[in-house]
Amino acid sequence: MRVLGIDPGLTRCGFGVVDGVPGRAPTLVDVGVARTPADLDVARRLVRLEVAVEEWLLRHRPDVVAVERVFAQHNVTSVMGTAQAAGVAMLVAARHGLPVVLHTPSEVKAAVTGSGRADKAQVGAMVARILRLDAPPRPADAADAVALAIAHVWRGPAVNRYAEAVAAHARPARLPRTTPRRVS
């Protein structure tokens, strides 16, 4: 399975591609960061991110895209930009017909380090160790994207099976009647 991990951000958006299967060490395919200038208006920055995501999808042809789930922070401006960048990544992947899975930062940290409270340095060090790299990918956004991809390779199938089981047992929602009734 090939996974494209995306650590969304307006200033720096991390990308990491790994090949792997559960139970085995994944292989790093590519890692990088797309940057947008802070002095550019938000709409144009989002267009640049769209182009970057499109390029990564076309170059690497992943089976699934794993995006970091945006969580509440104290800085509302930062959360908004991160959420907008995540939305662009999910939109582009969906346009290509790819499944998109969201993982929280604590899920990723737990999958890669064994602790959901690990710091960025610990995540980077474990990414390097898991992939047998001399050093963690830089900047930290790149290492985080690779960690997302690794976490999905290792945890994704279980998450997907759970979601499929829930969906299979859910009752279909009743749809409202769409044609008007004729009153005599």
Give the total residue count for the chain.
184
Which domains does the chain show, CATH number per domain? Answer: 2-169 (3.30.420.10)
**Amino acid found at 34:** A
**Closest C-alpha among 126, 103, 96 to residue 8:** 103
Tokens for 96, please give them.
Answer: 């290509």
Compute mean pLDDT per 10 residues along the chain, 184 residues long, and list them.
Answer: 97 97 94 97 98 98 96 77 96 97 95 94 96 96 97 77 53 52 55
**Residues labelled catalytic:** 7, 68, 141
Residue pair 72/9 in contact (Cβ under 8 Å)? The answer is no
Strands 12-19 and 27-35: antiparallel
* pTM, to two decimals: 0.84
Q: Which residues of 130-149 are buried (b: 16+ CB within 10 A; e: fewer)?
A: bbeeeebbeebbbbbbbbbb
pLDDT at 71: 77
Closest CA to 13 of 31, 28, 30: 31
Buried-exposed string 72-104: b where 16+ CB fall within 10 A, e elsewhere:
eeeeeeeeebbebbbebbbebbeeeebebbebe
Residue-level pLDDT at 166: 47
Residue 41 in marked binding region: no
Residues 6+ apart with CB under 8 A from 91: 50
144 known ligand binder: no
Cα 71 → chain centroid: 13
Residue 141, annotated as binding a ligand: yes
* In contact, 5 and 30? CB cutoff 8 Å: no
